[in-house]
Amino acid sequence: MNTSGTAGLTQTLDTAQTTLESPQLQEKKETQTDTLIRLASELKLFLNQYNEAYAVIESSGKREIQKIGSKALDRWLMRQYFADFNSPPSPDAIKQTNRVLMMKAHEEELVYPLHLRIAHHQDSIYYDNGDVSGSVIKISNEGYRVEAQPPILFHRTLNVAPQSLPAAGGKLSDILQHVRIKDEWDELLFMIYLVTCFIPGIPHPALIFSGEKGAAKTTSTRIIRSLVDPAKQDTTFLPSGTGDLALSLSKNYMLCLDNLDSLTAEKSDLLCTAVTGGGISKRKLFTDDEEVILSFKRCIVLNGIHVVASRPDLLDRSILIELERIEEKDRKEESTIWADFEAAKPCILGAIYDLVGKAMKLYPSVQLPELFRMADFTRWGYAVAEAAGLDGNLFLEAYKANITRTNTEAIESNPVATAICVLMDKQPEWHSTVTGLLDALENVAFHERINTKARMWPKAAHILSRRLGEVKSNLEKRGITFDIKNEGPAKFITIEKKPAE
């Protein structure tokens, strides 16, 4: 397949414009399908990075991207036909036209990646404003500016909403007037995280808001969504199935899940995949073997009264922010909250874009003695903090403190890890069979009232070995290491408690 670059995109698309009219059509009366194919000859067809067929519709200097076979493209075909004949084409004619367009797109083999909301191209970052004009914000180490036509293609899902245009005169800390965070370290971490959401292509930690009732968790979630990825539906409840969750992830640059109580293991694993980058394939509806690829690397925000993540893998990839309860005397009406925020939003965006450009300039020279698990975020976060005059080392301290908190949360939410910590509080070393350790942990659980009926509690020695592997890195941060070896017919485990990291 010929995968074309994005340079000179418009010129290449013009050159490759598909000619669908046939001379034979002039020798017979046009059918509705023939007419639709002729009307569609102005479309420029291409494949995205997943081999899916798309059409570029250009009108009055505006560019619209629609998937071939989508309802949006069907409506465009109907409008074109109705404009000429004052009657709609048949559903079958539209269906046949889509098949021809799809065939032609695959024949041309012109491939362009499609981006959602934000993308990196050459030495710049492009942010899709989501407006009818198709404008973008171009950010480089020279600053930012509004551009009418980007050299790359953005695809807008139905949920994409327009972004406010930026204005000068704001500062990053202005966001703290609209989100009430309990801890000063977390305020710093939140501000840096917010800016890094505008750095595409890197894994972003999941942001987890927690706080008692009245801490404005939903409002805070909606505010960050409004800044990063405005949407018609800015927050949503957790979808019932992993397939629906994957679909939501594929259609939103930032996905905000509201008012959560807990996460199943499967959904937690899928969110981990979305943080680091990945996807799933699903069978296409009404087909036997065609697959649809849902691919994503997303910014994710979760909120709940308690920290909703419990599995170590997701917690290790998260930032925990506790929100402060708003006192009755400080409460405002919803309309006032949003009026105040919308008034400040352009200047906050201007400050963010400015910092992204400055961080891009600093990033190549950032060399850190150590990187945390979210290595890209750590390095970019340091660059953003330096660009904002907040001191990169303070950011590292704040992030390290948050990692310690997530590790504590991971241990306390895991019954096996909790029992191991209690066991090793009383001794520097333990040696026994894995079966013997399970007996000892059950004894600890009985005295400490740890729930052994929980799904994560092992019912057999081989399951205990697996559960220990899941929390190995978390225990190591507490200074607890273990080694499992086969000795004859049994597995033996040695646990040692060393000074914590």
Strand order in the sheet with 143-147: 118-121, 124-128, 136-140, 143-147
307 lies in some domain: yes
3-state secondary structure 117-156: CEEEECCEEEEECCCCCCCEEEEECCEEEEECCCCCEECC
285 lies in some domain: yes
The number of folded domains in the chain is: 3
pLDDT of residue 23: 55
160 lies in some domain: no
Which CATH number belongs to the domain containing residue 435 in this structure? 3.90.1150
Which CATH number belongs to the domain containing residue 364 in this structure? 3.40.50.300
The residue ranges of DSSP E strands in 195-312, in sequence order, are 206-210, 254-257, 278-283, 291-296, 299-304
Residue pair 258/267 in contact by the 8 Å Cβ criterion:
no
pLDDT of residue 173: 96
Kindly state whether residues 25 and 94 are assigned to the same domain.
yes
Q: What angle do CA 164, 168, 170 make, to 5 degrees?
A: 90
Distance CA 56, CA 63 (A): 7
- 255 forms beta bridges with 300
Kindly state whether residues 359 and 472 are assigned to the same domain.
no
DSSP H/E element including 64:
strand 62-67
Distance CA 207, CA 299 (A): 8
Kindly state whether residues 299 and 380 are assigned to the same domain.
yes
Nearby residues of 484 by Cβ (< 8 Å), 6 or more positions away: 434, 465, 468, 491, 492, 493
**C-alpha torsion sign, points 455, 460, 464, 465:** negative
25 lies in some domain: yes
pLDDT of residue 109: 82
Kindly state whether residues 103 and 200 are assigned to the same domain.
no
pLDDT of residue 288: 47
Q: What angle do CA 377, 381, 386 make, to 5 degrees?
A: 160
pLDDT of residue 279: 79
Kindly state whether residues 242 and 203 are assigned to the same domain.
yes
Domain that holds residue 449: 414-497
Q: Which of 385, 409, 433 is the last residue in one of the domains?
A: 409
Distance CA 278, CA 317 (A): 15
Distance CA 38, CA 370 (A): 61
Distance CA 74, CA 91 (A): 9
Distance CA 54, CA 110 (A): 10
pLDDT of residue 131: 93
pLDDT of residue 278: 87
Kindly state whether residues 236 and 187 are assigned to the same domain.
yes
Strand order in the sheet with 480-487: 429-433, 490-497, 480-487
Low-confidence ranges of the chain (pLDDT < 50): 1-4, 18-19, 25, 286-288
Nearby residues of 284 by Cβ (< 8 Å), 6 or more positions away: 290, 291, 292
Nearby residues of 119 by Cβ (< 8 Å), 6 or more positions away: 125, 126, 152, 154, 200
Kindly state whether residues 233 and 365 are assigned to the same domain.
yes
131 lies in some domain: no
154 lies in some domain: no
Q: Which of 112, 146, 163 is the last residue in one of the domains?
A: 112
pLDDT of residue 285: 53
Residue pair 229/254 in contact by the 8 Å Cβ criterion:
yes
3 lies in some domain: no
Residue pair 302/209 in contact by the 8 Å Cβ criterion:
yes
Distance CA 448, CA 463 (A): 21
Nearest to 51 by CA among 109, 121, 118: 109
Kindly state whether residues 434 and 393 are assigned to the same domain.
no
pLDDT of residue 108: 87
Kindly state whether residues 366 and 238 are assigned to the same domain.
yes
Residues in the chain: 501
Kindly state whether residues 212 and 269 are assigned to the same domain.
yes
Match 């539209």 to its residue by tokens: 94
pLDDT of residue 129: 97
Match 């963010």 to its residue by tokens: 352
Kindly state whether residues 389 and 428 are assigned to the same domain.
no
Distance CA 425, CA 103 (A): 67
